[in-house]
Structure 1
């Protein structure tokens, strides 16, 4: 494996993971540069027409924070990345897309970063690689 292939997933994981942790902490604790209380976030989600807005707000905040931690650690990367990708796709389409390119470019890039991790996995520089010598269970199609 070339050094580029070894470093690529690590760089994407850590960059996306740190961003997700900051946004998750902002919602869970109401602090930091992305601070928004769960109740304010639930009101935003409810305004989009989603039912059970408070429960959904907690779910999104936990996906952002927990998924970010897993990405940085390099554990269950594909699973965490799927949750983050869905989160970013919904945010892009329902919230940011109506604002034009300048409104959705950031969440679109985060979505694509998450998808790249679903495709590549955690990479060599991860706890998954160190502890399990490769990949934790991920279903595959033999053909």
Structure 2
């Protein structure tokens, strides 16, 4: 059966998940932190967005979010302190999911919660599963 053949490669699953999740958060974080890349926003602009939503200490929160996304993305990508990084990133995306995306409905095209929910669940999966054995600093 083909499932038997695929099962021997199951140890690669955490690697694939880490690569996807790590790159996504790294690109989002770099866009906020350095205002470069396809998602270039910058900390100041992101802070203004947060302030407009009534988030207290918006500049501090913007820096925290940018650093968590950037450093958390790197850590997840290379499999370093994966559970800790995944927890921080899950908290980050959980707040974004509730405060920003939930009110926009399900569809991602409308800024909805479809994609953030997937990222939240992926980070929870890494939190419980760990980095895996392939190409990870954590062993």
- Is residue 2:57 matched to residue 1:37? no
After TM superposition, the score normalised by the length of structure 1 is: 0.86
Within-5 A mapping of 1:1-143: 3-102=8-107, 103-125=112-134, 126-129=136-139
Q: Output one character per residue of 1:35-54: Cα deviation in whole Å (capped at 9) or x when no partner.
A: 10111100111122221110
Kindly state the Cα deviation for residue 7 of structure 1 after the two structures are TM-superposed: 0.9
- Return the alpha-carbon distance in structure 2 between the equivalents of residues 96 and 4 of structure 1: 35
Q: Output one character per residue of 1:45-103: Cα deviation in whole Å (capped at 9) or x when no partner.
A: 11222211101100000000000000111010000001111111111111011111011
Structure 1 stretches of at least 4 aligned residues deviating more than 2 Å after TM superposition: 2-5
After TM superposition, the score normalised by the length of structure 2 is: 0.88
Is there any run of 5+ residues in structure 1 with no aligned partner, and where? 130-143
- Return the alpha-carbon distance in structure 2 between the equivalents of residues 13 and 50 of structure 1: 30
Is there any run of 5+ residues in structure 2 with no aligned partner, and where? 1-6
Size of the aligned set, in residue pairs, is: 128
SS of alignment partner, residue 31 of structure 1: coil
- Return the alpha-carbon distance in structure 2 between the equivalents of residues 127 and 53 of structure 1: 34
SS of alignment partner, residue 138 of structure 2: helix
